[in-house]
Amino acid sequence: MSDTQDAWGKVGNEFTSLGERFKDHYRKTTSDDAAEVKKGLDAFAQSLDRAVDSLGKAIRDPQVRDDAKKAGNAIVDAIGASITELGAVISSKVDDSSESDPPSTATAEEKAAAALDDVDTVMDRVQRAADGDIETTE
């Protein structure tokens, strides 16, 4: 079995075990307590039903769908801009290393570390932009 199958099998086993624990605790309650628990569960079920119904209505609302589409497009645009900026940084490093300047004394390891530093800087800016800490247009 694959690691993924094993991991999901474990999830199933853990939830089965958790369900058994809840069932055991429920059975240990007295009949008065059971009526109280049932009343609480019924109220919870009604609230959950109203919440699901509300979510269903929201999903069918054209304005909500439009807002969700805009939010999704904004994510795609942000990822695209980040990839473009990262590509520019990498390209400039490749161009810098291929110019006809005298051979650099920096080792390949040092050049790679410098490029990674630039990538880290870009990724930090992307994160700060996502957090709203900086403007995304310059």
Q: Is the pLDDT score of 127 beyond 90?
A: no
Residues 6+ apart with CB under 8 A from 126: 78, 82, 85
**Domain boundaries, position 91:** 63-130
Number of structural domains, the chain? 2
Confidence of residue 138 (pLDDT cuts 50, 70, 90): very low
Is 137 contained in some domain?
Answer: no
* For helices 62-98 and 31-60, angle between their N-to-C axes, nearest 10 degrees: 70
The model's pTM is: 0.37
Is 135 contained in some domain?
Answer: no
**pLDDT of 36:** 81
Please give the mean pLDDT across all residues of the chain. 79
Whether 45 and 78 share a structural domain:
no
Is 136 contained in some domain?
Answer: no
Whether 109 and 81 share a structural domain:
yes
Task: Measure the CA dihedral 57/63/67/72, to 10°.
Answer: 70
**pLDDT of 31:** 60
Whether 54 and 81 share a structural domain:
no
Choosing from 16, 39, 60, the residue where a domain stops is 60
